[in-house]
Amino acid sequence: MKDLAERKRESLPRWRELVAAMTSEVDALAETFLGKVDDIDGYRAGPVGEEQLRESARDSLALILSAVATDSTTTQLSSLPGELGRLRARQGVPGEDLVAAVQLDFGLLWSAMLTRARDSDMAVLALHVENLWSVVDDYARAVQQSYLEERALLAATTRDEQRTYLAELLGPAGQSPRDVQNIARALGVEADAVFRVVVADAAASQHAHRAAARVTTLGEQLFVLNQPGRVVLLWPAPRSGGLQERQLQQLQGMAGGLVSDVAGLGAVPAATATAFEICRTLRPDDNRLVTLAQAWTRVTKSQLDEQHGFSAALLAGLGTVPPSERDVIVETIRAYLATGSLSASAERLYCHRNTVLNRLGRFQKLTGLDVTIPDQAALALVALA
């Protein structure tokens, strides 16, 4: 009894005759392809013209048949797989639809062979069908690989262009309304939309870029711009409420300043400056995005200290007492400022209310601030932020 390898060798001439017969029917097969490819969503929308589809179908089928006839791969015979993948990437055809279209070739060729073969050819077809499928699969993988490489290149180019426009938006010169409109168009956003702006330390750059990549795969926008000493993130807010935004979900665990309702792209530079001021006041144990409402005392203290030495002058009297006493007084003042109540402060500090009252008096003697008076309490709140 003949083994499988011997039967394949003996049937190879007939197999090649059947393959050669298909070569003369490439035009008809291409027309059949056009009828079937219209069922694929990515082609029905019309990013690829009919004549171009017909030509690429003819070329693809002819190349596959040639590879089958010569026991070669399509990539050994032609650069067509790479060219087709790159072209479809630039035309915006979805990757899964491209693969589905390429895989139509196997069905077309196999059906045509079955239709035209004699009964005695069925064993030949069965023995060699794997060869046809292997060539089509190799072709599909080559097309897909070049498609993915081109998409990655296009995405990188787009990101570079977007960073250029973001850098222009946040530049020191400022932008005219017309410039803002042009930048919005380049970024694919509406100039009058509401935006979120985050500024984080430069060390958060990797986190930011990973988040942007994940958000992009979900069909959302998150722009990232690295600047000296910091990283800026920007995205348009959703039009309606609901679940937490995907951008904020991906930024969990990042420490940074957040300005959450920026009215229009033109207001983003000022919002970025505010977010940066928040970022500058973050403490080492901060691991979240902080808003101005949450950090206003720290931001105010930072700016007043830089310009006027505000807290050092106001709290100079505390420097005249031992550190242990100073720490107890400051802890008590903070508890009172947080509660506004002697009893609540005493409960928080596990001491008598008279003890709290005495420490408030001691703070007043050292600093001149009576924290039971609202405007003086506000000064202490900022100084101790």
pLDDT > 60? residue 48: yes
Q: Where are the alpha helices (DSSP H) in 281-373?
A: 292-308, 310-314, 323-339, 342-349, 353-367
Could you list the residue range(s) of the whole structural domain that residue 326 is in? 309-383
**Residue 179, in any domain of the structure:** no
**Residue 254, in any domain of the structure:** yes
The residues near 70 (Cβ < 8 Å, ≥ 6 apart) are: 77
The whole-model pTM stands at 0.62
pLDDT > 50? residue 88: yes
- pLDDT of 1: 45
233: left (phi over 0), alpha (psi -120 to 50) or beta: beta
**Residue 182, in any domain of the structure:** no
Sign of CA dihedral 311, 313, 319, 320: negative
d(CA 308, CA 82): 65
User: Quick one: pLDDT band at residue 152, thresholds 50, 70, 90?
Assistant: confident
Residue pLDDT, tens place only, 212-254:
989 888 888 999 999 999 999 999 998 765 457 899 999 999 9
- Does 139 lie in the same domain as 230? no
What single letter denotes the amino acid at residue 137?
A: D
221 within 8 A of 188, measured Cβ to Cβ: yes
CB atoms within 10 A of CB 14: 18
What single letter denotes the amino acid at residue 302?
A: S
**Euclidean distance between the first and the last CA atom of the chain, given in angstroms as a whole number:** 93
Residue pLDDT, tens place only, 35-47:
898 888 888 777 8
- Does 259 lie in the same domain as 132? no
Phi, psi of 138, rounded to the nearest 5 degrees = -60, -40
Listed residues 262, 294, 326: the one ending a domain: 294
How far are the Cα atoms of 16, 325, 370, 374 from residue 364, in angstroms, in the given order?
102, 14, 5, 14
Mean pLDDT of 51-76: 93
Residue pLDDT, tens place only, 195-214:
999 999 999 999 999 999 89
Listed residues 265, 294, 323: the one ending a domain: 294
pLDDT > 80? residue 3: no
- Does 227 lie in the same domain as 133? no
Q: Which two tokens stand for residue 44?
A: 């029905």
- Does 8 lie in the same domain as 151? yes
- Does 315 lie in the same domain as 277? no
- Does 70 lie in the same domain as 134? yes
What proportions of the chain, in percent to the nearest 5, are helix, strand and coil? 70, 10, 20
- Does 324 lie in the same domain as 288? no
Residue pLDDT, tens place only, 257-305:
999 999 999 999 999 999 999 999 998 889 999 999 999 999 999 989 8
pLDDT > 60? residue 6: yes
Q: Where are the alpha helices (DSSP H) in 170-267?
A: 177-187, 205-217, 246-250
- Does 314 lie in the same domain as 277? no
**Residue 145, in any domain of the structure:** yes
314 within 8 A of 382, measured Cβ to Cβ: no
Residue pLDDT, tens place only, 174-197:
778 888 999 999 899 999 999 999
